[in-house]
Amino acid sequence: MNTFFPEVDAVKYEGRESTNPLAFKYYDADRVVGGKTMAEHLRFAVCYWHTYKSQGGDPFGSGTFERPWNAGSPMEVAEKTLEANFEFITKLGVPFWCFHDRDIAPEGASFGEAVANLETIVAKAKKLQQATGVKLLWGTANMFSHPRYMHGAASNPDPHVVACCAMQVRRALDATLELGGANYVFWGGREGYETLLNTDMKRERAQMAAFFHMAVDYAKKIGFTGQFLIEPKPHEPTKHQYDFDSATVLSFLREFDLLDHFKLNVEANHATLAGHSFAHELAVAAEAGKLGSVDANVGDPLLGWDTDQFPTDINDTTRAMLVILENGGLGSGGLNFDAKVRRPSIDTVDLFHAHIGGMDTFARALLAAQAIIDDGRIAEFKAQRYAGWDSGLGKSILDGNETLESLEAKAMELGEPKRVSGRQEMLENILINAI
Ligand code: XLS
Ligand code: CA
Ligand code: CA
């Protein structure tokens, strides 16, 4: 397999002194950090849609990329793109890939053709997975690009459209099962609304819940035991999206009795679009025991849309890795590079540079986060800060033994509390010194 990326043989770890732009400086797959190898901690995945399907267009201009796999009939292109995927991933040395149904196979002229095309490509993908050892982190269905979904997918006012969603999710779940996928993702780009003048929000959220319950039932029926994930995003393409952020999705899952069946796929760029930090969104999911997987990318701080760039900010990724390590890792999830090269980065070698940078950034962040944990000062500071809740008055409040009146009496007795510093700058220095 040396057809589409002849400029690269295999990307190797060469260490931080290396000046080879096509080598890893930090990502050393077999290096053990805190009891696990880097590969086991980071579980990187390459995403199909940006990496091979992106043409380099933006809202103001057409595509700039000329990819060698984009030649021939739609099915020929699909087959070549699949070969390019496995060649790229094998050369990069990443264990996983992720796809949408419509990324890997063309929709064709009828629903029957769409189903048949997907089956043909999945059969080929299965062979390529076996030949290369590359595995599927997650599959998903694209229910946002086709015009039929302009008013929503499962939340559509027309049940006929929801039937089309069912067909797509059923087949995408079959494909994910066939390829041994570790997870299945739901991202609701059209699950939201533009104006309340034409929208019944209560109905639309209930429809989504009914749809998720059908998906849970179908997974059980076919024996798919992978983890179901919902990916929050506040808006774009829809103005108000129902899966706004981690907290909103958790509340939705609780409201509709779905909490046992889902975890969250947290994307960095979606976190910042929601007005949160990446670490905050991870922490909200983690504290509920629902951190499932991560879309590892970053938005541009000066642009207000989903730019899906490769992560290069080591401070931000270190804070994220701290949450992930404290969570005990990502379980069946991983770090999926849902990221694309910029429009002028037109060469296929730029795809390598981008992924190498993202992988090195996370590897470096892993080392820094593990060093912070081993150092122990931040954890000790936090433990001290809340020590008042471990015994005495704090414990009595948590145990339900106090009332507003009993606490008022305590406040009267103790007088004004002593003020203590939060030491934020000292703690930030520990973080930056670990990088
Ligand atoms: C779009 C989303 C999408 C999901 C998968 O903003 O990030 O790519 O990850 O449907
Ligand atoms: Ca994503
Ligand atoms: Ca995104």
Question: pTM for this one?
Answer: 0.98
What the block records as the tokens of 29 is 């797959």
Domain ranges across the chain: 28-375, 395-434
Q: Which residues of the chain have pLDDT under 70?
A: 1-2
Q: For residue 365, what are its two tokens?
A: 């962040």
Which ligand approaches the C-alpha of residue 139 most closely? 1
Q: Report whether CATH 3.30.70.980 matches the domain 28-375.
A: no
Query: What's the number of CA atoms in the CB half-sphere (13 Å) around residue 110?
Result: 3
Residue 144 alpha carbon, nearest atom of ligand 1: 10
Phi-psi region of 110 (alpha: psi -120 to 50; beta: other; left: phi over 0): beta
> Which residues contact residue 228 at a Cβ distance below 8 angstroms, ignoring those fewer than 6 apart?
183, 184, 186, 212, 215, 216, 219, 261, 262, 263
How many Å lie between the centroid of ligand 2 and the Cα of residue 145?
A: 15
Residue 253: per-residue pLDDT: 98
- CB neighbours of 11 closer than 8 A, spacing ≥ 6? 22, 23, 24, 91, 92, 93, 352, 356
295 C-beta closer than 6 A to ligand 1? yes
31 alpha carbon – ligand 3 mean position (Å): 30
User: Which pLDDT score is estimated for 4?
Assistant: 97
Residue to probe by mutation, ligand 1, list 191, 267, 337, most atoms within 8 Å of CB: 267
Determine if residue 258 is left, alpha or beta; phi over 0 gives left, psi from -120 to 50 gives alpha, anything else beta: alpha
The per-residue pLDDT for range 377-397, each reduced to its tens digit, is 999 999 999 999 999 999 999
Q: Is 306 in the pocket of ligand 1 (CB under 6 A)?
A: yes
SS3 call for 381: helix
Give CA–CA dist 399/392, Å, rounded.
Answer: 11
| pLDDT at res. 305 | 86
- Give me the long-range contacts of 249-254 (CB less than 8 A, separation at least 24): 250/284, 250/285, 250/288, 250/290, 252/205, 252/208, 252/209, 253/290
Q: Return the amino acid letter for 373.
A: I
Residue 168: predicted pLDDT: 98
Which tokens sit at 419?
Answer: 């003020």
pLDDT at 304: 83
Annotated binding-site residues for Mg(2+) read: 231, 267, 270, 295, 306, 308, 338
Its sign, for the CA torsion 359, 364, 367, 368, is: negative
Q: Is the dihedral of CA 303, 247, 334, 276 positive or negative?
A: positive
- Scan for tokens 């039929």, then name that residue: 148
243 lines ligand 1 (CB under 6 A): no
Specify the pLDDT at position 2.
65
Look at ligand 1, atom 5, and give the residue with the nearest C-alpha: 187
Q: Which residues pair with 99 in a beta bridge?
A: 139
Q: Give the residue, by CA position, lying nearest to ligand 1 atom 4.
A: 187
284-293 burial: b if 16+ Cβ within 10 Å, else e: bbbebebbbb
Indicate whether residue 103 lines ligand 1 (CB < 6 A).
no
